[in-house]
Amino acid sequence: MRAANSALHEREIHVIQRNRKRLAKRTFEERFDNLATIVLVLQVVLLLRGIAHVAFSGLVTSIEQSAAIATFVTSLRISGATTRGVLTVDVNLLLYAFGMPLYAALTLASRSKSWRRNLALGYVVLAPCVAFGAFADFLKNVAITAAPAIAAQTGFAAWQREAIAFAFQLGSLILPAVAPAVLWVALNQRLIAVLRRGGESVSSA
């Protein structure tokens, strides 16, 4: 009986230690992922702050970052029976950054000698596209999908709301998919020429 209890106790200790190791590993992976995400979208957040300061200083008071989430703190007032304050809008930057890993995959697959330069150039070029989509998302939330009492505070005219809707479609559907492909084609003209000649020789044979 004692031997059975001792074996059961040892098994429980082993399970606890294994769970602790898994939890520690998961926590490390989550922290690493958060750090990598912060570094990836850091330039995007800086661009968003610059756009807000130059063009929308009366609407956006600050932009805060938590991992991949950009929080727009606005000057729009919220008034209700039990609440009073200012409106904040959270935008997930990764929704508009999926073109970055797409471009990285294309660049690495091409096996170019200048792949490091191309990756850095791609990050610099694609970051404004991500910022464009994220800011359009924010404007859509405050000017179109927000409650009428809040949307009226923005002061946007009807044609400006139409422009915001178009910008949102462009920044969420077109730019993230098209911009990486166009940039990759522009930087890999030699590879494309080789592939084209190879295809022509195969078709002629």
Say what the pLDDT of residue 47 is.
Answer: 94
Say what the pLDDT of residue 28 is.
Answer: 42
Say what the pLDDT of residue 56 is.
Answer: 93
Instruction: Name residue 74's beta-bridge partners.
Output: 60
Q: What percentage of residues in the chain have a pLDDT greater than 90?
A: 48
Dump pLDDT digits (tens) for 19-69. 555 554 455 445 545 555 666 788 899 999 999 999 998 999 999 988 889
Neighbour-count burial of 16, counting CB atoms closer than 10 A to its CB (0-12 exposed, 13-18 middle, 19+ buried): exposed
Dump pLDDT digits (tens) for 150-176. 899 998 999 999 999 999 999 999 999
The reported pTM is 0.77
Report how far residue 95's alpha carbon sits from residue 165's, in angstroms, rounded to the nearest whole number. Answer: 17
Dump pLDDT digits (tens) for 83-119. 667 899 999 999 999 899 899 999 998 888 888 999 9
Integer-rounded Cα radius of gyration of the chain: 25
pLDDT > 60? residue 142: yes
pLDDT > 50? residue 81: no
pLDDT > 50? residue 193: yes
pLDDT > 80? residue 204: no
Contacts 24+ apart (CB under 8 A), 152-158: 153/76, 153/77, 154/59, 154/76
